[in-house]
Amino acid sequence: MQRSTELLDLPPATQRNLELTQTLRGESSPTLLSVLDTCRSGMGSRALRHWLLHPKRERSEALGRHAAIGTLIDKGFEPLREALRHVSDVERIAARVALRQVRPRELTGLRATLQALPDLRRTLPSGEQGSALIATLAQHLTPAPHIEELLRRAIADEPAVLLRDGGVIASGFDEQLDELRGIQQNCDSFLLDLETRERARTGIANLRVQFNKVHGFYIEVTQGQVDKVPLDYQRRQTLKNAERYITPELKAFEDKALSAQERALTREKLLFEMVIDQLTEELPTLTALGRALASLDALAALAERAATLNWCCPDFVNQPAIAITAGRHPVVEARLRETGAGEFMANDCRLDARTKMLVITGPNMGGKSTFMRQVALICLLAAIGSYVPATACRLGPMDAIHTRIGAADDLANAQSTFMLEMTEAAAILHSASDQSLVLMDEIGRGTSTFDGLALAGAIASHLHDKTRAFTLFATHYFELTEFPAKHAQALNCHVAAVESGEDIVFLHEIQPGPASRSYGVQVARLAGMPASLVRQARATLEALEAKASAGEAQIDLFAAPPEPEPTPPTVAAETDAALAALHDLDPDALTPREALDALYRLKSLSQKTQP
C-alpha cells in the first residue's frame, strides 16, 4: 500500500519498543532521546524531541540537517553551544506573551537574549563555509531593533517577580510614574523633618513619627509626656505605655503618600499592558526567532554527538536498500561506555531488492533484539537528519518502521500476552508496505509450540510474498531456518556464541547461516537456577533431541494450504433425495403403519449418502 502522509509512520508500539523517549519501565533514561539531548536550552530539547517523533519521508529536510551538522563539525560547534547557554526560552516567552501571562523577569530574559544575538551570529559559519540551512536560520536572528529598545527602556534591570509587587517599569520611561514614585521616595525625609519640628514645638524629646500598614502614619508619645501634647493632636490609638496621634499636616501627607503608592501600582500595570500590546504585534518575529534558536541548538547537539561518538553521515539512494556497515546501538553503546563494561560489538546489515528478509536465530541473551533495534534506530536517526552510529550507511526510501517485540499483557483492556502479540502483528500486516521496515521478534511464542510455529511460518510467508517489506525476523523455532530454502528473498543469519563445557560465551556477532542451538539451558544456569534443576533440564533436553532425531520427517510449514475436498456428485444427489422425502412427510397425517414405512424409507436413503 502507498502512503499519503508526509511523515515516516512510527506507531505507538514502535515508539515504545524502540524506547525513543521513554524506557519500557516508563523512565526517561536511558533512551535514544536521553543520548541525543545535550541541548543548551529547553526549546532546543523540545525541537529535538519533535524531530525524533515526527520524521519526514521526504528527504530534503534531513539532507539539509546533514549538511549543517557536517559544517558545524568542520568549523567548530563549541562557540555556538557556548553562546546558546546565554539565551532564554524565546519560544515559551512568545507563547506567554500571546496569552498575556508573561512575567516581568521573562521579559528581562528576552531582552538579554536579543542583546546576545550579535555575538551568537558571529559564531555561525557564513558565506561559502556555511550550509544553506544555517544561512536560513541566521536570517531570523536579526529581529526588529525596536523590540530590544522597548524592553531596555520599559523594563527595570531587576524587576520584581510579580507585577503586583511594583518596581517593574524602569525609571525614566513614564513621567507620571516617576512623579508618583518621587512622592513615595521622599516619604522618609518628610517624616524625619516632621519629627524634628514637632519635638522642638512640643518639647517632647522622645516623640516619634512612624508608619505601619494597619494604622498608617502616626505620632507616638509615651504616657508620661501626654500632658505636653498640643491641642491640634488627634488621638488615633491608645497603647499600654503610649498614645498615638495624628495631626492635620500628617493626615494630609498620609492621604497623598498612600494615594501615590496605589496610583503608581495602577500606572505600572497599565504601562506593562501597553508593553505587552506592542510585543504582541511582533509575535511572528519572536516566534521565528525562537524556532531558529531551537533548531540551531538541536543541530549543535547532534553535531556534538556525531563528533563525540564517532557517527557517520548516511547516504540516501532511490533504490530499495538498507546497507549498514559496523552499525551500533546508540543507547547500549553509551551504557557500556558509562559502566566500563566493554566495547560494543558492531554488526553489518544488508537488505536490498534481492534480499528483503533476514531470519535471525541464536541463543537468548545473544543480541538478536539489540541488532534488530539498532537497525531501526539507525534508519530513524538518518530520517530526522542526524548522523548515525555506523562506519557507513546507505538507505533507500522508507515509509514506516513497525515493531513486534517483547511479551506483555494488557489486562486493563482484557488482552492476554498472546492476544496482544497477535493484535500488533495483525496491525503490521495490514499497514506495512514494500518500503516499510518490520521487526518481528519471537512471534508465536505466546501459545502452544505447534500453533506458534504454524503462525510464525505463515506470518513470515505473508511478509515475504505479499507485503515484501524489509523484515528482520528473529525466532527460536529452528524449523523456520528452512524458510530461506523456499523463499528467494530471505537469508539465514545468527548471533554467534561459544560453548565451553557447561559455560557459554556470547560473541554478539551476526554471522551468516542458521544457529545450531538456542542454549536455553545454559542461559538458565547463568540466571542462577538451582544446579539440580539445570541437570534435570539438560537430561530432558537430550532425551527430547534423541527422540526427535529418530522420529518422522518434519511437516512442511510453508506449503500452500490444502483445498477443501469437493463433495462427490452422487452423494450430493442422494442427500438431496433424502431431504426431499423428509420434507414431504406430514407426521400428523400418518397412521402408525405409514410412519414405520416412512422411517424405513428414510433409513434406506441415508445409507446411500455415505461416501
Buried b (16+ CB within 10 A) or exposed e, 529-559: eeeeebeeeeeeeeeeeeeeeeeeeeeebbe
pLDDT in tens, 475-505: 888 888 889 989 999 999 988 877 666 666 6
- Predicted confidence at residue 500, as pLDDT, reads 65
Kindly tell me if the per-residue pLDDT of 545 is higher than 80.
Answer: no
Average pLDDT for the chain:
85
Kindly tell me if the per-residue pLDDT of 409 is higher than 50.
Answer: no
- Predicted confidence at residue 189, as pLDDT, reads 81
Band of the pLDDT at 313, cuts 50, 70, 90? Answer: very high
Asked if 116 and 86 touch (Cβ cutoff 8 Å), the reply is yes
**Cα distance between residue 299 and residue 6, in whole Å:** 22
Out of 258-267, 388-397, 406-415, pick the least confident: 406-415
Asked if 382 and 513 touch (Cβ cutoff 8 Å), the reply is no
- Predicted confidence at residue 2, as pLDDT, reads 46
Instruction: Tell me the sheet residues that pair with 323.
Output: 350, 394
Asked if 496 and 340 touch (Cβ cutoff 8 Å), the reply is no
Kindly tell me if the per-residue pLDDT of 186 is higher than 80.
Answer: no
Kindly tell me if the per-residue pLDDT of 442 is higher than 90.
Answer: no
- Which triple of cell numbers denotes residue 497? 556464541
pTM, whole model, 2 decimals? Answer: 0.78
pLDDT in tens, 192-237: 888 999 999 999 999 999 888 788 889 999 988 999 999 999 999 9
Q: Phi and psi (nearest 5°) for 42?
A: -65, -35
- Predicted confidence at residue 411, as pLDDT, reads 44
Band of the pLDDT at 68, cuts 50, 70, 90? Answer: very high
Q: Does a cis peptide bond (omega within 30 degrees of 0) precede residue 284? A: no
Asked if 479 and 557 touch (Cβ cutoff 8 Å), the reply is yes
Give the max Cα distance, the chain: 146
Three-class secondary structure of residue 181 per DSSP: helix
- Predicted confidence at residue 392, as pLDDT, reads 96
- Predicted confidence at residue 435, as pLDDT, reads 94
Instruction: Quote the DSSP letter at residue 8.
Output: P
Out of 302-316, 430-444, 457-471, 538-552, pick the least confident: 538-552
Buried b (16+ CB within 10 A) or exposed e, 265-299: bebbeebbeebbeebeebeebbbbbbbbbbbbbbb
Band of the pLDDT at 410, cuts 50, 70, 90? Answer: very low
Asked if 114 and 147 touch (Cβ cutoff 8 Å), the reply is yes
Three-class secondary structure of residue 473 per DSSP: strand
Q: To the nearest whole percent, how much of the chain has pLDDT over 70?
A: 88
Q: Which of 349, 552, 368 is nearest to 476 (CA)?
A: 368
**Cα distance between residue 438 and residue 428, in whole Å:** 8
- In the sheet with 347-352, reading across from the earlier edge strand, the strands are 315-316, 392-395, 321-327, 347-352
- Predicted confidence at residue 492, as pLDDT, reads 92
Helix H or strand E segment including 464: none
Q: Which residue has the cell 488621638?
A: 235
Of the chain, the end-to-end C-alpha distance in Å amounts to 46
- Predicted confidence at residue 103, as pLDDT, reads 93
Band of the pLDDT at 563, cuts 50, 70, 90? Answer: low
**Cα distance between residue 321 and residue 355, in whole Å:** 9
**Is beta strand 436-441 parallel, antiparallel or unpaired with respect to 470-474?**
parallel
Q: Read out DSSP for 230-299? A: -TT-EEEEE-SSEEEEE-HHHHHHHHHHHHHHHHHHHHHHHHHHHHHHHHHHTHHHHHHHHHHHHHHHHH
Kindly tell me if the per-residue pLDDT of 465 is higher than 50.
Answer: yes
pLDDT in tens, 226-246: 999 999 999 999 998 999 999
Count of C-beta atoms within a 10 Å radius of residue 91: 21
Kindly tell me if the per-residue pLDDT of 69 is higher than 90.
Answer: yes
Kindly tell me if the per-residue pLDDT of 112 is higher than 90.
Answer: yes
Sign of CA dihedral 76, 78, 83, 85: positive
Q: To the nearest whole percent, how much of the chain has pLDDT over 90?
A: 49
- Predicted confidence at residue 98, as pLDDT, reads 94
